[in-house]
Chains A and B, each alone.
Chain A
Amino acid sequence: MDSQAIATHPDHTHAGHEHPPYLRHHFATVEQQRETSSFGMWLFLLTEIMFFGGMFAAYMIYRNWYYPAFVAGSHQLSIVLGTINTAVLICSSFTMAMGVYSAEMRRKSALVMWLLATIVLGVVFLGIKADEYHEKWEKHHVPGLNFSVQDFVRVNPAYPEDKALPLDMAEKTQVYFSLYFAMTGMHALHMIIGISILIGLVIKAQAGAYTQGHMTTIENFGLYWHFVDIVWIFLFPLLYLISRHQ
């Protein structure tokens, strides 16, 4: 925020040119400033694509290698909880988009309300995720901490048509659960970071920071939040859905 301080410094002379206080001096126009910061945000999201991309690539390879273990592992997840969480996250993307719209319309109380709704939905998502993690812990499905192959060397009562896995393949369900925890855990960490930032945004929005024409921060945070939603849009079918009933 240093450059912001420079741009709005009272001692700074503005002889000969008038511009809004939020336009920093190294930009020619507000449009250019907006475009630059949006470009920077997208570059950051590109690094995020590659970060999650590495895990998606690992998932793809291991799923092909240990397919029966991935089927058995995915049968341990709750489709109902996964679907509810997907819906919750889509709702939170909608409330975030409406937050951006409210900032564009310069409606302060609406902006604060939509941002708060986004926080609530984010927390609901994390709560359901925590419940799922807790169930994994109780069933001894956490690789490296309390893993047991017991559930995989016998027939899963919920899927009586499945065959029990031989011991070596049952061990490989750990690969599935490692990827499950790595991918959903990294996604959850992004949600936690997002919610923390949102709390700061609500406080600043309440003070009127984003409803006086300068709302790049809200726009860019919206991009981040939607990106995290997109990661889940792929995690949900890959982890919960595509190995079912086969």
Chain B
Amino acid sequence: MSEPTHHEQHIVSPKLYGVIFLLLMICTALTVGASYLELGTFNAVVALGIAIFKATIVVLFFMHVKYSSKLTKLTVAAGFFTFCVLLAMTLTDYMSRAWGRW
């Protein structure tokens, strides 16, 4: 019989949860503040950049992925990758059909 997957429980400390919580709150304030600035296209870039950062720290620390097995990490990465494929292939189709009119 092969060895079962090793998945030792790692307990994240309340202190770290508190730090992540504060970071999320600061990022929320930042993204609201940035939306009042006139940045043109970069309004969307900044807002999405902050959202991706927030989502990443939630996944890594609140959802314990940083301390999880490789299988879990691979699963999360596969989900993110598949979502990117969904967006990229859809955009490829729409953009090439109305070429130059975007």
Q: Which of A35, A49, A57, A241 contacts B35 (CB 8 A)?
A: A241
- B66-102 vs A: 1/0 string, CB under 8 Å? 0011011001101110110011001100100000001
Q: Which of B21, B62, B72, B87 contacts A60 (CB 8 A)?
A: B87
A97 pairs with B62, CB closer than 8 A:
yes
B50 pairs with A223, CB closer than 8 A:
no
Determine the distance from Cα of A22 to Cα of B59 in the docked complex, in whole angstroms. Answer: 27
B82 pairs with A49, CB closer than 8 A:
yes
- Please give the distance in Å from B30's CB to the nearest CB on chain A: 11
Determine the distance from Cα of A166 to Cα of B75 in the docked complex, in whole angstroms. Answer: 47
Name the CB-closest residue of A to B49.
Answer: A237
Q: How many A-B residue pairs have CB under 8 A?
A: 148
Interface segment among A146-154, A167-175, A192-200, A226-234: the answer is A226-234
* A197-246 interface (Cβ within 8 A of B): 219, 222-223, 226-227, 229-230, 233-234, 236-238, 240-242, 244-246
The answer to whether A38 has its CB under 8 Å from any CB of chain B is: yes
Given contacts A61-B90, A97-B12, A104-B9, contact A237 B47 (CB under 8 A): yes
Name the CB-closest residue of B to A58.
Answer: B90
A-B contact pairs, 21 of them (CB 8 A): A32-B7, A38-B68, A39-B72, A50-B86, A53-B87, A54-B86, A60-B87, A61-B91, A87-B28, A91-B21, A93-B24, A94-B17, A94-B18, A96-B62, A97-B12, A101-B13, A236-B31, A236-B51, A237-B35, A244-B43, A246-B38
